[in-house]
Amino acid sequence: MTYSPERRTMRDAFEVRTYDGAARIGELRVPRADVTVETPALMPVVNPHVQTIEPARLESAFGAEIMITNSYILHGSDDLREDALEQGLHELLGFSGAIVTDSGSFQLAEYGEIDVTTTEILEFQREIGSDIGTPVDIPTPPDVGREQAERELDTTQERLETAESVETGEMLVNAPIQGSTYRDLRTEAAEHAYGTGLDVFPIGAVVPLLNSYRYADISEIVDAVKRGLGGDAPVHLFGAGHPMMFALAVAMGCDLFDSAAYALYARDERYLTVRGTEHLEELEYFPCECPVCSEHTPEELREMDDDRAERLLAEHNLHVSFGEMRRVKQAIRRGDLFELVETRARNHPTMLDGYRALLDDADRLEASDPATKDAFFHVSTESARRPEVRRHHRRLERFDLDGEILLASDRDALDRSFDERWSVTPPFGPYPPALAEAYPLTAEVPERFERQAYAAAGEGIRRLVEANPGATFTVALWDWPEDVLAALPDGVERADGFRA
Ligand code: GUN
Ligand code: ZN
């Protein structure tokens, strides 16, 4: 089945404005808070007991439109429970945007048990004024036996059904999607969740995968989930808070992220960058333009008292995280998110694996990719596998040609004439003169290609030749690798000629 993101539309909380591949800029309407959150959005995690950065400051200094806190901690706290009930969460925390509350499932996964039911915690979330509540799902870890994954998914699904029957008023409700590392279970879980009346779709239990840099597995899980959801389903990647992976995760089609990392890392004197994590101890310079890094040196922070340094590091971590999210959004607007992902994928070999795994889902990326964008930049081996290349290859099968056709690199001149002359550019392959000014053939490409780009172009030639048995094809591709030329379909002639 060809993937179509728009095959079902029944929700109205979320609306996509622009796509780039499977990435999108969208608007999530949160009725209880009476706000519209632009996605992709970063939700800072606020621990109600330890507010490293006050929620009001998250809003005023960092532009946070949405945050997340844990209702299970509030429910279990003698100090805060009554305050939360009396004042409401927004007043208690001092945050006027949308507040998401988690349910204690993460504590369940960490400590083996919790003492609330889905009904109790959802009612509590509604009572304290949460804008998006969460039932008690079971975060099944990666790589467990199939039986455990199925059994726990059954329980999660029962809890989603329970959640549907709870009186939640205007509060939106999360429908977490589990299924461990089984792709088919993740798709089934997504179809089930989408079939409930619930509103937001967090992909659960990926924290262990994030902690061990298993980006290819994450990519496969997100793909499996997305195939089970309609295009109007907002997707939250639970626990993903490192700015290094925002571009990749957004390219997978995730809309919401929660960051506890900004605070947790600051506590351990760790400094986030879009390329990875640094230790304060090992930094001589701050490679960042934020106010903290402009006004201080690493040496100064090391000499400060711990609380002050922790706070400044947390602020830097937030600046970097929100900054990267803005960069990702601008890239979606401009249609060059793939170029940004290709850059970020160079930061760590496992991120490259994640990006390569994402490109295995080319049909899904292509289904929502716009037909035209700003110039395609061929900047890495992976560029040859982008959805634009695949779409061009399929378009080649629809041409109806006869006569003698020359397929030539632009600079080649020949001493005989043909009925038609087409250009050939890696990684796309052949195209008629009429398409030369059309996306994606306006691409900026290097003069020296890797073998993969020639092979992709050779695939384009194969498609065109096989779709046109009545035509004859001659190639003038002098600078192509011999093995790629040798793999062209039988009957394709090589021109004798001279180089211009
Ligand atoms: N936080 C991180 N992962 C999860 C998850 O799978 N479920 C819930 N409810 N919260 C989480
Ligand atoms: Zn900084």
Q: How far is the CA of 6 from the centre of ligand 1 (A)?
A: 27
- Mean pLDDT, to the nearest integer, of 227-246? 97
Q: Write phi, then psi, for 402 (nearest 5 degrees).
A: -140, 175
| Residue 485 clears pLDDT 50, i.e. is over it | yes
| Cβ of 102 below 6 Å from ligand 1 | yes
Buried b (16+ CB within 10 A) or exposed e, 320-355: bbbbbbebbbebbeebbbbbbbbebbebbebbbbbb
| Residue 500 clears pLDDT 60, i.e. is over it | no
For residue range 138-153, list pLDDT tens digits in order: 999 999 999 999 999 9
Binding residue positions for substrate = 137, 205
Which residues make Cβ contacts (< 8 Å) with residue 147, sequence separation at least 6? none
Question: How many CB atoms lie under 10 A from the CB of residue 249?
Answer: 29
84 three-class SS: helix
| Residue 219 clears pLDDT 80, i.e. is over it | yes
What does DSSP assign to residue 243?
G
| Cβ of 205 below 6 Å from ligand 1 | yes
CB 234 within 8 Å of CB 196: no
Which residues make Cβ contacts (< 8 Å) with residue 210, sequence separation at least 6? 218, 239, 240, 242, 245
Q: Could you confirm whether 102 is annotated as catalytic?
A: yes
Q: How far is residue 406's CA from residue 493's CA, in Å, rounded to a whole number?
A: 9
* CATH of region 5-362: 3.20.20.105
In the chain, the N- to C-terminal Cα span, in Å, equals 47
Q: How far is residue 359's CA from residue 342's CA, in Å, rounded to a whole number?
A: 11
Q: State the average pLDDT for the chain.
A: 95
Going by pLDDT thresholds of 50, 70 and 90, the confidence category of residue 7 is very low
For residue range 46-91, list pLDDT tens digits in order: 999 999 999 999 999 999 999 999 999 999 999 999 999 999 999 9
Give pLDDT, residue 165. Answer: 95
Strand ranges across the sheet with 429-431: 429-431, 420-425, 403-408, 471-476, 493-494
* Ligand lying closest to the C-alpha of residue 296: 2
Task: Kindly report the protein residue whose alpha carbon is nearest to atom 7 of ligand 1.
Answer: 204
* Ligand lying closest to the C-alpha of residue 106: 1
| Cβ of 137 below 6 Å from ligand 1 | yes
Nearest atom in ligand 1 to 104's CA: 9
| Residue of 12, 83, 102, 217 marked active site | 102
| Cβ of 106 below 6 Å from ligand 1 | yes
Choice between 497 and 29, residue whose per-residue pLDDT is larger:
29
User: What is each CA distance from 393 to 16, 136, 367, 396, 402, in whole angstroms?
Assistant: 27, 46, 15, 5, 19
Cis peptide leading into residue 40 (ω within 30°) = yes
Delimit the CATH 3.20.20.105 region(s) of the chain. 5-362
Q: How far is the CA of 209 from the centre of ligand 1 (A)?
A: 13
User: What is each CA distance from 485 to 232, 391, 455, 476, 482, in whole angstroms?
Assistant: 44, 22, 9, 10, 5
Which pair of structure tokens corresponds to residue 112? 């083996």
Binding residue positions for Zn(2+) = 288, 290, 293
| Residue 412 clears pLDDT 70, i.e. is over it | no
- Mean pLDDT, to the nearest integer, of 4-24? 80
107 three-class SS: helix
